[in-house]
Amino acid sequence: MAAAADARSVTLSVDDALRVSALLLLPPRARACYVLAHGAGAGMTHPSLEATATELGVRGIATLRFQFPYMEQGAKRPDPPAVAHAAVRAAVAEAARLVPSLPLIAGGRSFGGRMTSQAQAAAPLPGVRGLAFLGFPLHPAKRPSDERARHLFDVQVPMLFLQGTRDALAELDRLQPLIERLGMRATLHLLQDADHAFHVPARSGRRDPDVRREMLDALAAWVDALV
């Protein structure tokens, strides 16, 4: 099993003034690379993202995790979209440079996935074959809406939505009609009883690692079909 310690440290240049850290985990015989953005509240070294990268490595998928500038600087407020989009573009460009032979997938956790899709909608990310979202934040908790998803109709690459059925930031009566409207470009995989953090209650009979295993198996299968 590839370990988190096997990850290679990388520095990304977001612009002339901004530099951020990144980690490349490249397993033997990798068949794709996932440019993996973190969520709003935790950076690229959070245990759940470490586990995601490690377990994708076992499945033959490389990952490039990276910090958004606010997280690198220790700030709590996420970057403005333009800055976040620039970080996504820098990470995709670096992945293409580091692993030029591998097909690229982009996306990530919650905020990071949404910033990636916004960047892709504004101007296609070079070389990116598809977007994979680990809990797309469709709306704020208790404020159901699909306004945050309008830009997804400008994304012309395949998209995978990995969502918990108890996700308070993507209620199913909003999410499922959206996926239907997006048509063939969108695939939804629901994780039973999981919340936005992919946590499941004890009464479900499953544990969080079981949910992550199902999620990453679905992601790997989607990548294989795509590339």
Q: Which domains does the chain have, with CATH numbers?
A: 4-226 (3.40.50.1820)
pLDDT at 155: 97
pTM: 0.94
Give the per-residue pLDDT at 13: 92
Q: Are 131 and 100 in contact (CB under 8 A)?
A: no
Q: What is the pLDDT of residue 62?
A: 97
Q: How far is CA 98 from CA 9, 23, 69, 103, 117, in A?
A: 12, 11, 21, 12, 22
Closest CA to 1 of 48, 62, 57: 57
- Read off the DSSP letter of residue 38: -
Where are the strands (E) in 110-196, listed by range?
128-134, 159-164, 186-191
Q: pLDDT at position 120, please?
A: 98
Per-residue confidence (pLDDT) for residue 2, from 0 to 100: 44
- Burial class for 122, CB neighbours closer than 10 Å (0-12, 13-18, 19+): middle
State how far the Cα of 215 lies from the Cα of 213, in Å rounded to an integer. Answer: 5
Please tell me the distance from the alpha carbon of residue 132 to that of residue 222, in angstroms, as a whole number: 9
Q: What is the mean pLDDT of each run of 10 residues along the chain (227 residues)?
A: 68 92 96 97 93 96 97 93 97 97 97 98 97 95 87 97 96 95 97 94 89 97 95
β-bridge partners, 32: 61
Per-residue model confidence (pLDDT) at position 202: 87
